[in-house]
Amino acid sequence: MKRRDFIKKTGLAAAAAATAAAGLAGCGKKEEEKPMEAPAVITRKTYEWKMVTTWPPNLPVLQTGAVRFAERVEAATGGQIKIKVFAGGELVPPLGVFDAVSEGTVEVGSGASYYWAGKAPAAQWFAAVPFGFNAQGINAWFYSGGGLELWEEVYAPFNVVPRPQGNTGVQMGGWFRKEMNTIDDFKGLKMRIPGLGGKVVSKAGGTVVLLPGGEIFTSLERGVIDATEWVGPMHDLRMGFYKAAKYYYYPGWHEPGTTLEVMFNKKVYDGLPSELRAILDAVAAETNVWSLSEFEAGNGAALQELITEHNVNLVRFPEELLAKLRELAEETLEEEAAKDAMSTKVHTAFKKFKEQVGIWGSVSENAYYNVIADKYKLKA
C-alpha cells in the first residue's frame, strides 16, 4: 500500500500515531523502528460477544457446530471477535434464544428457525418443511434463489439477522414400537414429533406429545409414547432408542434437511466494519457445509453400528402411506401459509423454487442415487 493511500484509509488513531512519530523525530531522538515505513497501521476495535444456543451442552454437530463457529470466527478475525458460547439453559432458556438476540441481551444465537414460529409464523419455512427441500435444495434456495433475503425480511422486525449455519441432511422417520402399514396406523398413535411434522401427524389422527430430550427414552420404553423421531443414526444411537422400539423407519419426510441457524442482533451486525460482516458470513457458510459433512460421515458410521451390532430393523414407510402423509402435509402448509401475509409470501416463493429445482433433482441426484444405491448389504 502506498503511504498516501494508507493515510487516506486509516483512522484517527493511526493519524495520531503518525503525528506522534513526527513529534518523536522532532525531539531529535533516535528512531529504533521506523513506523512510517512499516506496513500499514490501522485501528482495530475488538469485540467480546455472548452466544446462546437452544442445544444441550456437547450435542454433536448442533452444539459443537455453534462452538466451532465461534472458534473459527475468532481464528479468522485474529481474535478481533471473541464469542463465548452458552448451551441451552446456561444463560437463557433453550427457547429464549431468539428473544435474547432480538433484545440485544446477547449478540449471537444459534438454533433452528421453526422454534420461533410462535412469534413469526413464516420462520417455519427456513428450518424444515415436510416433503420440502433437502439440504442441497434449501441451500440453493438460500444462496441462489432469494431464500436468505426472505428470511432476513422475516427476522428484520425483530432486529435479528439470520444466516444458515448447518444442516442435518435427511433425518430418519423415527422409532416405532409397531409396524406402520397404512395411514390409519397413525390413529391414536402417541408420537413425540414437534413442528409442522407434528401437525401432519395430528391431522392423520395421531396424538402429538412434546417431551424434553431427557424424558424421551423412558417414555418410549414404558409405552407412554408409541413412537418418537429425533435426528438421525448418530444422535439416535446415543439416545439408545434401539433398546426401546423395534422399527426404525425412513425416510424422514417431516425433516428432509433441517437448517441450523446462527443469528445476530441486527444493530450489532450492521454496526460492524464490512470485513467483519464478510467474515461472519463466510464462517457461517463454512460451518454449514462442515455440519452436513459431519452428519453424512457420522450417520454413516452410526447406522452401520446400529445394523451390525444392535440388529436394528430398518424399514421404509410404505409408498401409499407416504403419499397420504404428503397430501396432509400440503394441506397443513396451505393452512399455515394462510395465517399471515408474510407466510403466504414465503410459502409461494418456496413452492416456486421447488418447482424450478424439482425436475433437475430427478435427473441428477435422484437418478444417480438410484444407480449407486446400496441395497442394505449389511443386513443381507
Which cell numbers hold the place of 89?
439453559
Report the alpha-carbon distance of residue 271 to residue 341 in Å, rounded: 30
Which residue in 127, 170, 227, 263 binds its own copies (CB under 8 A)?
Answer: 170
Question: Of 314-343, which residues contact its own copies (CB under 8 A)?
Answer: 314, 316, 322, 326
Report the alpha-carbon distance of residue 122 to residue 336 in Å, rounded: 8
Closest CA to 288 of 122, 87, 74, 135: 135
Report in angstroms how near the CB of residue 134 gets to its own copies at its nearest: 6
Question: Of 101-130, which residues contact its own copies (CB under 8 A)?
Answer: none
Q: Kindly tell me which of 165 and 228 has the beta carbon lying closer to its own copies.
A: 165
**4 counts as binding its own copies under rule CB under 8 A:** no
Question: Of 206-245, which residues contact its own copies (CB under 8 A)?
Answer: 232-233
Number of residues this chain uses to bind its own copies (CB under 8 A): 112
Q: Angle of helix 135-144 relative to helix 147-155, nearest 10 degrees?
A: 80
Report in angstroms how near the CB of residue 120 gets to its own copies at its nearest: 24
Report in angstroms how near the CB of residue 1 gets to its own copies at its nearest: 4
Q: Kindly tell me which of 98 and 230 has the beta carbon lying closer to its own copies.
A: 230
Contact 62, 55 (CB under 8 A): yes
**380 counts as binding its own copies under rule CB under 8 A:** no
Which cell numbers hold the place of 322?
407416504
* Amino acid found at 193: I
Which residue in 1, 7, 338, 341 binds its own copies (CB under 8 A)?
Answer: 1
Q: Kindly tell me which of 9 and 187 has the beta carbon lying closer to its own copies.
A: 9
Which residue in 58, 90, 143, 334 binds its own copies (CB under 8 A)?
Answer: 143
Q: Kindly tell me which of 16 and 338 has the beta carbon lying closer to its own copies.
A: 16
Contact 275, 152 (CB under 8 A): no
Which residue in 180, 204, 244, 307 binds its own copies (CB under 8 A)?
Answer: 307
Report in angstroms how near the CB of residue 215 gets to its own copies at its nearest: 27
CA 286 to chain centre: 12
> Which range touches its own copies (CB under 8 A), out of 43-51, 150-158, 186-194, 260-268?
43-51
Q: Kindly tell me which of 151 and 158 has the beta carbon lying closer to its own copies.
A: 151
Q: Kindly tell me which of 7 and 297 has the beta carbon lying closer to its own copies.
A: 297
| Residue 141 CB contacts under 8 Å (≥ 6 apart), including other chains | 133, 147, 350, 353
* Amino acid found at 19: T
**65 counts as binding its own copies under rule CB under 8 A:** no
Radius of gyration of the chain (CA): 25
Report in angstroms how near the CB of residue 165 gets to its own copies at its nearest: 11
Ordered strands of the 81-86 beta sheet: 81-86, 47-53, 108-111, 259-265, 160-167
Report the alpha-carbon distance of residue 271 to residue 267 in Å, rounded: 6
Helix residue ranges per DSSP H, 147-265? 147-155, 195-203, 213-221, 233-239
Report the alpha-carbon distance of residue 331 to residue 367 in Å, rounded: 28
Q: Kindly tell me which of 158 and 248 has the beta carbon lying closer to its own copies.
A: 248
Report the alpha-carbon distance of residue 137 to residue 126 in Å, rounded: 12
Q: Kindly tell me which of 49 and 250 has the beta carbon lying closer to its own copies.
A: 250
**151 counts as binding its own copies under rule CB under 8 A:** no
Report the alpha-carbon distance of residue 298 to residue 136 in Å, rounded: 18
**313 counts as binding its own copies under rule CB under 8 A:** no
Report in angstroms how near the CB of residue 83 gets to its own copies at its nearest: 14
Question: Of 270-289, which residues contact its own copies (CB under 8 A)?
Answer: 273-275, 278-279, 281-283, 285-286, 288-289
Which residue in 21, 211, 224, 349 binds its own copies (CB under 8 A)?
Answer: 21
